[in-house]
Every structure is written in structure tokens, then in C-alpha cells.
């Protein structure tokens, strides 16, 4: 029995649930919603549903279209292959995608099933964002198939009938872990014996057993389709592998073709036949079934050695005779069914696999030795179980003390992806089957985890990476808001990792050495647990955690992590490698930033959102169409000359999965509404149209941002009354101007805030114009100010250069009074946001090319140059690397030349006083500043 929930916990949950308004996360309307997740009362602003925000033409739409085409055309039977195989169902001839998604991938495909969940989410978002029913049809098809899979897993395995050598046959689908269990009397203790079988192997794994009769790994008799040399082998022993008496074939059996195998034992002679020909004979054999005696395990398709693969392929006609057939009788079996051959049916056992479509096989020998189809792992512990592999990974995790992904690779992470895909499928299509599958998965997880002591759970969730569970808490809480099942909320709390929560709640940074993407999505879930329970430690921990990553462990593009892990706080330069910025990390940091903004409208969250979305996330998608691969990066190396890999690890990694999702929800955070509907937040400048039915208006942004430095916002419909809050990016220090219908709006916009157009009755045709001049600026690595990355407004510019050493550039020489460094660069005609500097082209990071890039460069300002004039003075530096020119230009923007000269005088005076600059050299700098001319 599961431990009872406390009365206090149940009462608190009931109060919170009652307080949640029954409205969608989306605050608009648009197309009719299929289903909704109630919005928490704790959110002071709320997002709009994807269906309420239409993506217009531009950079984001172009990127999205590549993924939409991929999602529309990809064969979803390939995604379902591993699920169907696990259930013993026909895989319809589909081939698994490969990479991490399939039995042959890394760690034996121990993560299989995750990609299918991502794909379902992508389809749901594609349908919501476009209204194209082709995506909904694909969702329903996949949900139907997964329903069949769960139904098959709930019961005993059943025969999979295929075309056999003589009619019907039974197929063991690779990945089904199925075998045929024969009664103990099958060999009858015979001293002489013949075993005959038709096989059609479908995989080349060695040591697949056609049959294995034995007690353990000491006493057994087997026939394998392939030994270590890839040829058939028969062996019998009472002394383990070292005592085997064997017969080896001479050639490999062909795949996907029927082959006949037979073994005869008589006296001291054993013979192995392949397709009627004797390929091996041993006249010194002393072992036979009479010596072995009655054996415990009598199996077709399974080995007594647990590490050997289960036979993948089909069986037809397995016969056992209590004598050695003659060569002529073996020959007759090649052209006749056994019952019509010279040999006749086996007198010890005879199975026609076409005779049943259930889970048992009748014996035609007259001995009544009915065989039973079984799974090596038995079956699920709960009828809600759904996965693309056996429950054994989940079971093994419960006793693990350290991670080993070759044995257990994040089963609850995989479960999360499947669960999330099903919840999204339900919300998109209102398909009750998807909700039933999702709810069943949570019921199954609760049945397992609620029985475990808290110490066991804490140990499990702290293991890398076997204990990784992704964003499962968030999805479980979302499901709870739909189902209202107390066990679902209780399940979400079973994923508490107290060491992490308590440290972050106390603002104690313990992230150094942790696996980044194992921990980021945990906090999005904990924010949702705060929403559902009111326990403040969850929200406090999440806020503090965010500050430990941004900017402390953040690269300029918004990404984080090195080789999937975090280094110490503030180490940026010291962590740059070929394996920076795992793309999943950016995906999950965006989700967490968004979730925190719902609770506290701190502009820093949306500043980060723009940075990571516009740079890393867009740049992670290659600008190329591909039918088979989503073409999304895993890592984005920031070392000089790095070339992005858009097909990492042969495809279907975690990052390609999140990449499917990212590219179909670009519009999800452009607009939020205040919970009471009194304000509209415009968080991102993007060509979009918002259908806000609650206010009776349509809000359209027309812009080519970021290739345009601003946006035009048009309100249609009229009659709505609300404030419009426009995000003023923290980098927008060159001015931010707003007009309504051509008239300036009063107030002074402040970088890193929201500028408010006061509440008004909006009229049809009202036009808001936002102008955001860009500046070229640098951002310095926290631990090395000489290592810098270049930004033009929100856009990270990367050098395209094959050199594998850091490039060195100076930028102050032609800086204007505004502090803008752009005059030092030369624009490339016809290429927006492209510039050259000292022969190197700088281009937006978001362009998904395969050019070698330099995200960081060495800043070198060896001489004091002002307004293009060399002062003839070396540019001195303080011990922390800050130079004289750095301090001068830190005062920008300057109202006029006089203000700049005044800054130069004050800075020079300070440096002379500190003994860092000679008085004569200081005067040269001042004179140069006075005589030089500057752009505005």
C-alpha cells in the first residue's frame, strides 16, 4: 500500500486547487481550445496560448518552416518502432531513427522513447501555431499506436504471426525480450536426439540462441545462430563454457531469409546441418540429453547467459525426435513440412507456430507439451506502464548507488518526455486516449515511488545521470491541474531533491561540478510545485538558482555548461572548449526564466529570454531543409574556429529533441497579459499577431527585428482598455522612443525596464511605433576582461575565420560620442548585421551555417587612439586588466565633444595620481582628445 497523505497536505492541496481559476494558460481565445490547463492564481501575469499568437514573416518564421516541413513529412512509424517492439507488436517494417533512439544506439539505446515524446510535443505546437490538421492527424495516429502498445504490455505476450516457410510463423521482434518457454520434459532424457528448426534471423548480434536447455551457466545445451565468429554453433556441457563439446558452422546465416538448422546426436557423434548439408561433425562427444537430465530452463530464443541477446527473428516448425535422423530425412525436411517429410513429426516435441495467435503453442507430438510465450522481464508492475523498454531500468535504479548509463540511463527523464508529449497531445487535440495514457503513467510511477523510503528517493535523484528526471515535475503538476487526482500531486513531491532545494533556498551555490541539464528543468517543476502547494522554499530556491547561472555561468549567447557540467561560479574564460553551451540547457533556462516572470515581472528574465532565444536557440538550428534529421546542435563550441555540428551523435540526441520543440514555439513569450487583463506586456519584438479575445482586439507587430531596429504595433478591433508595457532591453542605451499615432508618449524609458503606455481605450487602427537604436558593444568574460564577445543590439556577432587561435582586435579607435563601437567596423553591402574588421567577417550568431566561428576574441588596445588619432602613448592597464581607454569610454554616451574631453581629463588625472600613467603622457592623451573629431 502507498503511504497515506497527511491530513494537512490534503487540506492544503484542496484549498489551493479550489483557488485556481478554471481558465486556460492562454488568456486569449483564437481558435477554439481543445483542452486547457488551469492557470495558477499565483501568476501575476499569464501567457497566451500558441494558437492565439500567429508568427509573421521574418527570421523566426523562416527557421520554423524548416522544422514544420520536417515534422510534417517524417515517418512516425519509425518513432513508434521501439514502443511496438517492446510490446511484441509488429513494427510494420519501420527502422528506428538511430542515434539515441533505437536498440543500436549509445548505451544499447537505453534512452529510447524520449525522442517520440519530443516529436509529439513538436506536433502539438505545430498544430497550435499553424492550425494545419495534418499535424493533428499525426498526433492521433501516434496516440492510437501508443494505446495499442500499452494494451499489449498490460497482458501476457501474444504470438506475432508472420509469413513462414510453410505458411504461418512466429516472429520475435528485436527489442521485445520475448522467448518461448517449453515444458521440462521436452528432451525426454533421450540418449539420441535430433532437433530441427526453421529460422529467419533479422539481426547480426552474436550469441542469439535458437534454443537453450539448461539449469544455469554450467549445465546446458544450446544452438546459436551466430557465435563469436558469426556462424551457427551447437554446444553441450556439464562444466560451463570451458567444458563445451561443440559444432560450428562454416558460414553466417543470411538475414531476413529462411534457413533450416538441425542437430543430431547419436553415440559419440554429433552433426550440425545447415539447409540440409552437414557442415560440422564431432565424433568425440560424450554428452547428450540423458546425461544432462531434467533441466529447469527450456527455452526457444533465450540464453541461460543473461548478457546474451534475445533471438531476433522468426521461428517455423521446431521438432525434436528421440533418434538421430538420417541424412536423407534431413534432406526431406528442406522441401516438405515435417508432417509430410520422410522424418515425420518429432516424437518428443513438435510445434507449428501458425496454429495459434495467442500466447501458447500446442504440441503436435502427442505428448501434450504446450509451450508458452513469455517476456524475459515478466511484465509491468502496474497497468499504466508505458515505455519503449522494459521496466527493468526503473527497478534497477532503486538499488543503484552510482550512475552507469550503460545499465540505467535516466529512465524517469525518458518517462518525462513521453508524458509531456502525451499531455501536449491531449491539450492540442482533446484526444481522451492521450490523457488516459498520461494519467496511467503517473499512476504507475506513484505506485513505484510512493513505496520507497525518502532516503532511497534522495539517493536516486542525486545520481548522475541515471537519476536524471528532466522536467517531469512540471508536467506532473500540469496533469494534476487537469485530473485533480491527489496522487498526482503527491507524485510530483516525490521528486524533491532536498539537498539541492535547501542549498538554493539558502542561496548557497553548490552548482560547481553538477550536471547542468539534469538540474535546470528541476527548478521549473519546483516553481509549479509552489503554485500547487504554496511552499515558498520551491520558489525561493528557483529564483536563487537562476541568479547562480545568469550571469555567473553564462556565455554571451545565453548558453551554459561545459561538456554538460558546470564549473565554479564566475569561470567563463576558463571553461571555453569545443563542448560548451549544451542546447538543452538554453531550452530549459528559457522555460525557467519564463516561469519566474509569471511570478515576478523582473525585466532581467525577459532580457535573458531574448538573449538566449535570439542567439543560441536560433543559432542551434541549421538553415537547411532535411527530411530525416532536425539539424540541431548538441554542444556549441566557443573555442576559436569551431564548426557547429548539426547532426551530433548520428541524430536524435536530447538536444535535437528539445530543438524540435524550440523551433515550433518561437512565439510563446512575445506577449503576456496581467492576470486581471489590465495590461499587455510586449516582451519581445517579433513579427506576430496576437488575438486577444478577452479584450476584443488583435495586436499585430510588423517588423524585421533584429534586422530592423524597432517595431510597429497596430491594434485592430478597438474597445479594449489596458496598459501596454513595452520592454526596454538592458542593452538599449542609445535611446528608446515610443509614439502612439505619431505622438510621443510622455515618460523617460530606462534600459532594463518596462515602459508603460498608460491605460486607454484602444481604437481600431491605433499604431504604436517603438524605435530601439542599436549600439555595437562588447561583453567581457567574468574571469578575463581581455576575452570579449561582440554584440550589435541583441545580436551576438561572431567572426568567421578558420584560425584556431583567438583573434585579436581593437575597437576604440573610431568610437563615437555615443560609445558605439560600430564605426570601427565596415558594413557588408546587402548583408544586414554583417561587418568586417581587419579582414574578418562578423555575422549574426543566429545564422545556422557551418562556417568556422569565433564567438570570443582577444581585446587588444595597445595604444591610446581617440577619434582615429594616435596619441603616441601606450594604453596602460590596472591589475584587473581594465585599461585607461576602458575607463574613458565607460562614461559614454557623451552629450558632446566637451563632455568626452572632460571625461578624459578626469580619468587621466586619476591614473596619474595612482602612478599608472606619466604626467607627460597624460597630457598627450588630453591634447589628442581635444584635437580629434568624433562621430555622434
Instruction: Determine the average pLDDT of the residues in 853-872.
Output: 97
Instruction: Determine the average pLDDT of the residues in 258-262.
Output: 98
The grid cell for 807 is 583573434
Instruction: Say yes or no to pLDDT of 289 above 60.
Output: yes
Evaluate whether 555 touches 487 at the Cβ level (below 8 Å).
no
SS3 content of the chain, % helix, strand, coil (to 5): 35, 20, 45
Q: What is the pLDDT of residue 15?
A: 30
CA-based torsion, 655, 660, 663, 666: positive or negative: negative
Instruction: Say yes or no to pLDDT of 914 above 80.
Output: yes
Instruction: Say yes or no to pLDDT of 64 above 70.
Output: yes
Q: What is the pLDDT of residue 1?
A: 36
Give DSSP secondary structure letters for 553-569.
Answer: TB-TTS-B-BTTB--ST
> What confidence tier does 354 reach under pLDDT thresholds 50, 70, 90?
confident
> What confidence tier does 936 reach under pLDDT thresholds 50, 70, 90?
confident
Give DSSP secondary structure letters for 187-235.
Answer: GTT-SSEEEEEEEEE----TT-EEEEEESSSSSEEEEES--TTSS-EEE
- Burial classification of residue 366, based on how many CB atoms lie within 10 Å of its CB (0-12 exposed, 13-18 middle, 19 or more buried): exposed
The grid cell for 860 is 587588444
- Cell numbers 490523457: residue: 435
Instruction: Say yes or no to pLDDT of 244 above 80.
Output: yes
State percent of the chain over pLDDT 90: 93
Q: What is the pLDDT of residue 2?
A: 37
The grid cell for 688 is 506576430
Start and end residues for every CATH 2.60.120.200 domain found in the chain: 176-375
Tell me which H or E stretch contains 278: strand 277-282
Q: What is the pLDDT of residue 521?
A: 98
Instruction: Determine the average pLDDT of the residues in 618-637.
Output: 97
Give the integer Cα–Cα distance in Å for 669 and 683.
7
Helical H segments across 600-710, by residue range: 603-611, 618-619, 654-662
* Per-residue pLDDT tens digits for 370-416: 999 999 999 999 999 999 999 999 999 999 999 999 999 999 999 99
Closest residue by Cα to residue 800 from 857, 858, 843? 843
* Per-residue pLDDT tens digits for 426-483: 999 999 999 999 999 999 999 999 999 999 999 999 999 999 999 999 999 999 999 9
Q: If phi over 0 gives left and psi between -120 and 50 gives alpha, with beta otherwise, what is residue 484?
A: left
Give DSSP secondary structure letters for 756-800.
Answer: EEEEEEPPTTEEEEEE----EEEEEETTEEEEEEEEETTEEEEEE
Instruction: Say yes or no to pLDDT of 175 above 80.
Output: yes
Judged by DSSP in three states, 674 sits in strand
Give the integer Cα–Cα distance in Å for 277 and 279.
6
> What confidence tier does 880 reach under pLDDT thresholds 50, 70, 90?
confident
The grid cell for 246 is 561443440
Q: What is the pLDDT of residue 27?
A: 56
Please, which residues bridge with residue 828 across strands? none
Evaluate whether 203 touches 361 at the Cβ level (below 8 Å).
no
State CA 917 to chain mean position distance. 54
* Per-residue pLDDT tens digits for 306-345: 999 999 999 999 999 999 999 999 999 999 999 999 999 9
Give the integer Cα–Cα distance in Å for 218 and 216.
5
Q: What is the pLDDT of residue 25?
A: 54
Give the integer Cα–Cα distance in Å for 548 and 541.
11
Give the integer Cα–Cα distance in Å for 357 and 319.
20
**Fold entry, domain 176-375:** Jelly Rolls (2.60.120)
Q: What is the pLDDT of residue 186?
A: 97
Q: What is the pLDDT of residue 662?
A: 98
Give the integer Cα–Cα distance in Å for 607 and 619.
18
> What confidence tier does 650 reach under pLDDT thresholds 50, 70, 90?
confident
* Per-residue pLDDT tens digits for 13-54: 333 333 332 234 545 544 444 577 888 999 999 999 999 999
CA-based torsion, 843, 848, 852, 855: positive or negative: positive
> What confidence tier does 357 reach under pLDDT thresholds 50, 70, 90?
confident
* Per-residue pLDDT tens digits for 106-135: 998 999 999 999 999 999 999 999 999 999
Evaluate whether 221 touches 297 at the Cβ level (below 8 Å).
no
State percent of the chain over pLDDT 70: 96
Give the integer Cα–Cα distance in Å for 290 and 822.
90
The grid cell for 296 is 529447469
Instruction: Determine the average pLDDT of the residues in 710-735.
Output: 96
The grid cell for 261 is 538448422
What are the C-alpha distances in Å from 847 to residues 589, 778, 827, 844? 21, 20, 17, 6
Instruction: Determine the average pLDDT of the residues in 861-875.
Output: 96
- Arithmetic mean of pLDDT over the chain: 95
Evaluate whether 801 touches 854 at the Cβ level (below 8 Å).
yes
Q: What is the pLDDT of residue 230?
A: 98
Amino acid at each position: 500500500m502507498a503511504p497515506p497523505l497527511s491530513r494537512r497536505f490534503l487540506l492544503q492541496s484542496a484549498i489551493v486547487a479550489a483557488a485556481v481559476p478554471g481558465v486556460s494558460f492562454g488568456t486569449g481565445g483564437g481558435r477554439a481550445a481543445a483542452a486547457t490547463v488551469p492557470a495558477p492564481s499565483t501568476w501575476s501575469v499569464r501567457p497566451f496560448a500558441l494558437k492565439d499568437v500567429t508568427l509573421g514573416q521574418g527570421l523566426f518564421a523562416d527557421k520554423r518552416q524548416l522544422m514544420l516541413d520536417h515534422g510534417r513529412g517524417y515517418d512516425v512509424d519509425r518513432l513508434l518502432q521501439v514502443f511496438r517492439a517492446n510490446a511484441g507488436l509488429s513494427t510494420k517494417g519501420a527502422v528506428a531513427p538511430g542515434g539515441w533512439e533505437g536498440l543500436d544506439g549509445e548505451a544499447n539505446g537505453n534512452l529510447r522513447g524520449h525522442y517520440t515524446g519530443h516529436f509529439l510535443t513538436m506536433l502539438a505546437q505545430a498544430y497550435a501555431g499553424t492550425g494545419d490538421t495534418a499535424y493533428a492527424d499525426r498526433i492521433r495516429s501516434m496516440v492510437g499506436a501508443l494505446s495499442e502498445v500499452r494494451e499489449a504490455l498490460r497482458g501476457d505476450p501474444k504470438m506475432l504471426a508472420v509469413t513462414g516457410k510453410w505458411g504461418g510463423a512466429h516472429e520475435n521482434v528485436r527489442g521485445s525480450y520475448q522467448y518461448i518457454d517449453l515444458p521440462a520434459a521436452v528432451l525426454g532424457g533421450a540418449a539420441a536426439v535430433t532437433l530441427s528448426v526453421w529460422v529467419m534471423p533479422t539481426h547480426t548480434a552474436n550469441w542469439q540462441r535458437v534454443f537453450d536447455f539448461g539449469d544455469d551457466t554450467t549445465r546446458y545445451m544450446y544452438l546459436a545462430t551466430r557465435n563469436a565468429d558469426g556462424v551457427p554453433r551447437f554446444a553441450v556441457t556439464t562444466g560451463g563454457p570451458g567444458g563445451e563439446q561443440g559444432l560450428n558452422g562454416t558460414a553466417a546465416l543470411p538475414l531476413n531469409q529462411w534457413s533450416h538448422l538441425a542437430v543430431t546426436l547419436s553415440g559419440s557423434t554429433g552433426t550440425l546441418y545447415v539447409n540440409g548439408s552437414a557442415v560440422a561433425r564431432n565424433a568425440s562427444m560424450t554428452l547428450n540429453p540423458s546425461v544432462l537430465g531434467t533441466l529447469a530452463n527450456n527455452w526457444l530464443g533465450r540464453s541461460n547467459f543473461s548478457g546474451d541477446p534475445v533471438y531476433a527473428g522468426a521461428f517455423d516448425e521446431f521438432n525434436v525426435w528421440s533418434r538421430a535422423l538420417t541424412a536423407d530425412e534431413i534432406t526431406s525436411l528442406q522441401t516438405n513440412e515435417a508432417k509430410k517429410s520422410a522424418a515425420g513429426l518429432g516424437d518428443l516435441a513438435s510445434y507449428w507456430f501458425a496454429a495459434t495467435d495467442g500466447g501458447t503453442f500446442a504440441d503436435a507430438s502427442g505428448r501434450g507439451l504446450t509451450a508458452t510465450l513469455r517476456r524475459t522481464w515478466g511484465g509491468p508492475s502496474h497497468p499504466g506502464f508505458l515505455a519503449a523498454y522494459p521496466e527493468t531500468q526503473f527497478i534497477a535504479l532503486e538499488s543503484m548507488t552510482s550512475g552507469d548509463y550503460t545499465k540505467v540511463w535516466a529512465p524517469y527523464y525518458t518517462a518525462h518526455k513521453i508524458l509531456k508529449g502525451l499531455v501536449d497531445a491531449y491539450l492540442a487535440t482533446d484526444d481522451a486516449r492521450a490523457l488516459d495514457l498520461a494519467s496511467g503513467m503517473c499512476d504507475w510511477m506513484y505506485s513505484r515511488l510512493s513505496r520507497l523510503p525518502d532516503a532511497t528517493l534522495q539517493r536516486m535523484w542525486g545520481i548522475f545521470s541515471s537519476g536524471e528526471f528532466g522536467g517531469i515535475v512540471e508536467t506532473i503538476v500540469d496533469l494534476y491541474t487537469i485530473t485533480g487526482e491527489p496522487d498526482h500531486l503527491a507524485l510530483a513531491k516525490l521528486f524533491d531533491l532536498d539537498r539541492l532545494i535547501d542549498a538554493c533556498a539558502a542561496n548557497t551555490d553548490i552548482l560547481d561540478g553538477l550536471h547542468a541539464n539534469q538540474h535546470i528543468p528541476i527548478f521549473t517543476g519546483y516553481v509549479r510545485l509552489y503554485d500547487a502547494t504554496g511552499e515558498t522554499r520551491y520558489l525561493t530556491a528557483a529564483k536563487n538558482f537562476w541568479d547562480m547561472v545568469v550571469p555567473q555561468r553564462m556565455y554571451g549567447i545565453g548558453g551554459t555548461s561545459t561538456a554538460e557540467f558546470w564549473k565554479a561560479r564566475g569561470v567563463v574564460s576558463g571553461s571555453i572548449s569545443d563542448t560548451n553551451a549544451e542546447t538543452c540547457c538554453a531550452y530549459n533556462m528559457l522555460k525557467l526564466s519564463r516561469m519566474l516572470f509569471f511570478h515576478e515581472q523582473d525585466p532581467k528574465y525577459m532580457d535573458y529570454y531574448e538573449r538566449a532565444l535570439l542567439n543560441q536557440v536560433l543559432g542551434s538550428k541549421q538553415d537547411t531543409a532535411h527530411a530525416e534529421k532536425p539539424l540541431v546542435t548538441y554542444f556549441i563550441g566557443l573555442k576559436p574556429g569551431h564548426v557547429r555540428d548539426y547532426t551530433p551523435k548520428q541524430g536524435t540526441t536530447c538536444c535535437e529533441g528539445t530543438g524540435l520543440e524550440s523551433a515550433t514555439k518561437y512565439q510563446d513569450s512575445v506577449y503576456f497579459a496581467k492576470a486581471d487583463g489590465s495590461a499587455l506586456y510586449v516582451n519581445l519584438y517579433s513579427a506576430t499577431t496576437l488575438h486577444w479575445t478577452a479584450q476584443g482586439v488583435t495586436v499585430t507587430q510588423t517588423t524585421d527585428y533584429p534586422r530592423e531596429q524597432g517595431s510597429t504595433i497596430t491594434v485592430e478591433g478597438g474597445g479594449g482598455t489596458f496598459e501596454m508595457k513595452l520592454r526596454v532591453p538592458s542593452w538599449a542605451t542609445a535611446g528608446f522612443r515610443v509614439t502612439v499615432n505619431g505622438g510621443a508618449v510622455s515618460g523617460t524609458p530606462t534600459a532594463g525596464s518596462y515602459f508603460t503606455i498608460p491605460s486607454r481605450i484602444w481604437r481600431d487602427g491605433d499604431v504604436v511605433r517603438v524605435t530601439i537604436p542599436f549600439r555595437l558593444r562588447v561583453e567581457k568574460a567574468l574571469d578575463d576582461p581581455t576575452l570579449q564577445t561582440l554584440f550589435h543590439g541583441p545580436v551576438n556577432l561572431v567572426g568567421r575565420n578558420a584560425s584556431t587561435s583567438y583573434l585579436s582586435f581593437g575597437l576604440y579607435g573610431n568610437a563615437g560620442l555615443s560609445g558605439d563601437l560600430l564605426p570601427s567596423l565596415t558594413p557588408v553591402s546587402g548583408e544586414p548585421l554583417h561587418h568586417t574588421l581587419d579582414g574578418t567577417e562578423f555575422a549574426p550568431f543566429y545564422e545556422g551555417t557551418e562556417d568556422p566561428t569565433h564567438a570570443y576574441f582577444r581585446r587588444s588596445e595597445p595604444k591610446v587612439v581617440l577619434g582615429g588619432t594616435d596619441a603616441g602613448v601606450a594604453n596602460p592597464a590596472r591589475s584587473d586588466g581594465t585599461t585607461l581607454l576602458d575607463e574613458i569610454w565607460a562614461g559614454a554616451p557623451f552629450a558632446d565633444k566637451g563632455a568626452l574631453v572632460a571625461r578624459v581629463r578626469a580619468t587621466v588625472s586619476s591614473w596619474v595620481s595612482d602612478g599608472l600613467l606619466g604626467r607627460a603622457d597624460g597630457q598627450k592623451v588630453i591634447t589628442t582628445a581635444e584635437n580629434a573629431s568624433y562621430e555622434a
